[in-house]
Chain A
Amino acid sequence: MATQHSRSAARMMMAPAVFLLLVWMLVPLSMTLWFSFRNYLPLRGGDLGFAGFDNYVRFVSSSAFWPSILTTLLIVGGALLISIVFGVLLAVLLDQPLWGQGVVRILVIAPFFVMPTVSALVWKNMFMDPVNGLFAHLWRFFGADPVVWLTDASIFSIVVIVSWQWLPFAALILLTAIQSLDSEQLEAAEMDGAGPLSRFAFITLPHLSRAITIVILIQTIFLLAVFAEIFVTTGGAFGTRTLTYLIYQRVLESQNVGLGSAGGVYAIILANIIALFLMRIVGNNLDK
């Protein structure tokens, strides 16, 4: 039904979006790539010439690199684990018949809409403050010494803050997936004598596997980029410097653009590996 005329019109209508994204992708990317091979220190002499792979080697061999990778893995892994495990439980719970399901959904999803700077500050001060925070009150009530959360349990604290923001998203996606499960299948299994646990393990969980994969991939991409939550709580101190934060510090705080750009290239490669899996799943979905 598409005529030659409508085809060329279609191409023209697509052009602005494609062009803009192409520029947005290629210009900064090629600049980052270029800087990563330069000895570029804007405040200390500017562009001091070609550096070969020095920046790449130096970024990896710096004493901050491996700790930052470990921190990144702990934060991403911790937040993923919490949001998947509790997300599945929450989704199963919300799928049960109950009064006021709509209101509970609204309560559960709310943290996702709170801007990262707000949630980080609220948690930092009103909950984790070692003197006036709610946790400190709670600890004292039980006769324990309040924990200095963001210093003594810094990574755990960041994981709590980030998980609070992302658990709702995981739960909502998993709930949507559960609701598409054919209830007749569950009834048949029940009649065949399958208990609730085996119904969950052999029907619900396999049905959710795809949604879980999607949650993992999408959250990983966002979690790798966590910034504001660290920026306003610890500023990268107490072992909370992630790869993203390390690059940010190299580029804007110590103004070593060459080194930071090399780090940026590493981050881009890392994100692309994850994105590749995500695109395969989403791509398969398009064919249906």
Chain B
Amino acid sequence: MARSVSTQRKALNTVLAWSVGLLIFFPILWTILTSFKTEAQAIASPPIFLAFDWTLENYAVVQERSNYMRFLTNSIIIAGGSTILGILVAVPAAWSMAFVPSKRTKDILLWMLSTKMLPAVGVLYPIYLLSIQLGVLDNRLALVVILMLINLPIIVWMLYTYFKEIPVEILEASRMDGASLKDEILYVLTPMAIPGIASTLLLNFILAWNEAFWTLNLTSVDAAPLTAFIASYSSPEGLFFAKLSAASTMAIAPILIMGWFSQKQLVRGLTFGAVK
């Protein structure tokens, strides 16, 4: 930027921006802090910010009482499984749309996007009924498939926009050198596409991890992921702020860290490339 800005102005901007940023982040910060308090300190009046006796007790209690590991495992299986499955289905589709486009490619892409717009509640009962009849209610595999289908349009779109940026000349050169279709995909395309695939993976893992309509409605015990684990805290018994905070921190920590790495891809993925 060519314009010179006075230090004073920059300092003012900095103070303002940091204040707003901390204000927005505050609920998360407060949750994390509260998770290290005792229950009595968590509801102390006036509230205690930092000068409390830091304890890890809440984490131990949460872990002991509600078998956090099982929910965590379910979340990892459901979010990870649906994302990997989605990538496996989407890579060939996005590859063919990006490199062998036909007249209908754009229509197909837009149609895929339109399935994403289908309100879940409109098809809640059919999916619920089918799950019962197929005996897959509260089943992890069923959720893996459903979340894969929900995110598939976004995965295809993201991969498509990444693949589009790979120069076609490189592919043509490899073809002239006699590379087969398999070689072309395996040795030429894949290495160049890995960063794009990685960020698609990251973003869709986050979306699947936080999905809270199907995971709440189609699970009860066996397949219940962290969204359901947290929802079970909606009817409090006695003092529980610190434990709620510990449980919340445990549910969001892994995804928050992943999210910070993929914030740029977020815009690209969720706007379907329409804002760059």
Where the two chains meet, the residues of A that have a C-beta atom closer than 8 Å to any C-beta of B are 1-2, 6-7, 9-11, 13-14, 16-18, 20-21, 24-25, 27-29, 31-32, 35, 90, 93-94, 96-101, 103-119, 121-127, 132, 134, 137, 140-141, 164, 167-169, 172-173, 176-177, 180, 183, 187, 190, 210-211, 214, 218, 221, 224-225, 227-228, 231-233, 244, 247-248, 251-252, 257, 260-261, 264-265, 267-268, 270-272, 274-275, 278-279, 281-283, 285-287
B89 within 8 A of A: yes
Report the contact-size class of chain B (Cβ under 8 Å from the partner): 35 or more
By a CB distance below 8 angstroms, the chain B residues around A232 are 230-231, 234
By a CB distance below 8 angstroms, the chain B residues around A282 are 110, 113, 272-274
By a CB distance below 8 angstroms, the chain B residues around A90 are 20
Known A97-B5, A98-B13, A115-B209; contact A173-B271, beta-carbon cutoff 8 A:
yes
**Docked pose: A18 CA to B5 CA in angstroms:** 53
By a CB distance below 8 angstroms, the chain B residues around A117 are 212, 216, 227-228, 230-231
Max count, chain A CB within 10 A of own CB: residue among B18, B175, B212: B212
Selected from A27, A107, A228, A268, the residue in CB contact (under 8 A) with B126 is: A27
Known A132-B241, A218-B270, A282-B274; contact A11-B121, beta-carbon cutoff 8 A:
no
Task: Looking at the assembled complex, report how far the CB atom of B209 sits from the nearest CB atom of chain A, in whole angstroms.
Answer: 7
By a CB distance below 8 angstroms, the chain A residues around B276 are 176, 180
A-B contacts, 23 of them at CB < 8 A, read A9-B96, A21-B115, A31-B129, A99-B11, A101-B17, A110-B28, A113-B255, A114-B28, A117-B228, A117-B230, A121-B244, A132-B45, A167-B24, A173-B271, A183-B3, A210-B275, A227-B121, A227-B212, A244-B119, A264-B121, A264-B122, A268-B122, A283-B110
Known A17-B89, A227-B121; contact A10-B100, beta-carbon cutoff 8 A:
yes
Task: Looking at the assembled complex, report how far the CB atom of B199 sits from the nearest CB atom of chain A, in whole angstroms.
Answer: 15
**Docked pose: A106 CA to B259 CA in angstroms:** 9
Selected from A9, A31, A167, A172, the residue in CB contact (under 8 A) with B267 is: A172
Where the two chains meet, the residues of B that have a C-beta atom closer than 8 Å to any C-beta of A are 1-3, 5, 9-11, 13-14, 16-18, 20-22, 24-25, 27-28, 30-31, 34, 42-43, 45-47, 89-90, 92-93, 95-97, 99-100, 102, 106, 108-115, 117-130, 149, 152-153, 156, 168, 172, 175, 181, 206, 209-210, 212-213, 216-217, 226-228, 230-231, 233-234, 236, 241, 244-245, 248, 251-252, 255-256, 258-260, 263, 266-267, 270-276
By a CB distance below 8 angstroms, the chain B residues around A225 are 119-121, 213
Selected from B95, B255, B274, the residue in CB contact (under 8 A) with A115 is: B255
